């Protein structure tokens, strides 16, 4: 299943809001439609968001080339795409890369942007294979592993990040079990990771996010392994809300905590020159379940999509160019 594809002038996305109950594809022909799909999490996962953004920029280039002022129109559409989800660095990075590419005649913008996106997609599969291989030393036969959110093929243009490492480790070493946090409030672990673990034949159980501490205390976790939406120069990691709590728990219980992500998720300007905005999502994601209100009338909700894990809580960071230990200096 390809989470992100492009054919016949259209961006084609698996609508991850529908999984696992249904497999439905969105066919997107404009930059605003692509922005909406990214913002509303029809596509998600930092590498997949970056790839979708690259294709969205090709759509933007096609539209801008027909405008009275192509340059102004392109910049407006690029800003719109970049603001769809502010925390994942891949999104901003791809918008900036494509803008830098489009320096010639507007007539050639679309082909230039599309060529970049196609090359990026081909490269992601190779990156994911390298990530999995480089992460293999973190595992040993019979391990029990805990993961959070979704880091499989649905989150990249290839095999996945932390999920690809889990899958390869199970193939080569044999894992006893993977515990998948359900990952509130949008349940990416329960809906997506469990779906992919089942397809890969990896033994697993879904747990509520609040059960992680219990599982660690009971000796059911030997390794915590997650992905990342942004990695700072000192190893700090922005990832799905709840990741920081897992890192603190892992430290307390003496359990390794590893992050697997491509170099494209690394931001050498953070911390320092770049401040990172933590995305705040619609309170209804917390106050409702399957369209039905579950919180009392009049209650509001705080709904940050990400948190930041300090680098000193991260045992290892795996990229396609190697396995790194603290102190980090990316």
How does pLDDT run across 39-70, given as a tens digit for each residue? 999 999 999 999 999 999 999 999 999 999 99
- Rounded to two decimals, what is the model's pTM? 0.93
pLDDT in tens, 84-128: 999 989 999 999 999 999 988 999 999 999 999 999 999 999 999
| Domain residue limits at 179 | 129-324
pLDDT in tens, 190-204: 999 999 999 999 999
| Number of domains the chain contains | 2
pLDDT bracket for residue 79 (50, 70, 90): very high
- 97 and 171 in a common domain: no
Could you give the residue numbers annotated as active site?
Answer: 229
- 253 and 310 in a common domain: yes
pLDDT bracket for residue 36 (50, 70, 90): very high
- 33 and 86 in a common domain: yes
- 279 and 216 in a common domain: yes
> Is position 100 within any domain?
yes
Longest dimension (CA), the chain: 65
* CATH number for the domain that contains residue 203: 3.40.50.10470
pLDDT bracket for residue 290 (50, 70, 90): confident
- 292 and 263 in a common domain: yes
Q: Point out the domain boundary residue: 121, 154, 179.
A: 121
> Is position 329 within any domain?
no
* CATH number for the domain that contains residue 84: 1.20.120.420
Q: How far is CA 247 from the centre of its chain?
A: 18
């Amino acid at each position: 299943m390809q989470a992100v594809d492009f054919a016949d002038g259209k961006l084609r996305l698996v609508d991850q809001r529908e999984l696992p109950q249904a497999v439905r594809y969105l066919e997107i022909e404009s930059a605003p439609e692509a922005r909406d799909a990214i913002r509303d999490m029809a596509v998600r996962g930092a590498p997949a968001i970056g790839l979708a953004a690259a294709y969205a920029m090709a759509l933007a280039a096609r539209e801008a080339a027909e405008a009275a002022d192509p340059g102004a129109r392109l910049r407006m559409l690029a800003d719109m795409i970049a603001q769809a989800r502010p925390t994942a660095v891949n999104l901003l990075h791809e918008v900036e890369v494509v803008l830098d590419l489009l320096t010639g005649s507007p007539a050639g913008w679309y082909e230039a942007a599309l060529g970049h996106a196609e090359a990026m997609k081909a490269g992601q599969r190779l990156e994911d294979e390298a990530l999995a291989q480089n992460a293999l030393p973190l595992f040993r036969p019979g391990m029990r592993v805990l993961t959070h959110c979704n880091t499989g093929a649905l989150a990249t243009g290839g095999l996945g990040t932390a999920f690809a490492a889990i899958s390869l480790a199970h193939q080569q070493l044999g894992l006893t079990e993977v515990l998948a946090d359900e990952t509130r409030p949008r349940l990416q672990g329960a809906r997506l990771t469990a779906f992919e673990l089942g397809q890969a034949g990896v033994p697993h159980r879904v747990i509520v996010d609040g059960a992680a501490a219990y599982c660690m205390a009971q000796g059911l976790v030997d390794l915590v392994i997650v992905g990342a939406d942004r990695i700072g120069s000192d190893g700090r990691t922005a990832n799905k809300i709840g990741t920081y709590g897992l890192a603190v728990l892992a430290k307390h219980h003496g359990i390794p905590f590893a992050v697997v992500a491509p170099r494209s998720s690394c931001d050498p300007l953070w911390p320092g020159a770049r401040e990172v905005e933590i995305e705040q999502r619609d309170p209804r994601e917390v106050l409702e379940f399957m369209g039905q209100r579950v919180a009392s009338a009049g209650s509001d909700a705080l709904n940050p999509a990400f948190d930041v894990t300090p680098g000193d809580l991260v045992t290892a960071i795996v990229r396609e160019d190697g396995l790194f230990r603290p102190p980090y200096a990316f």
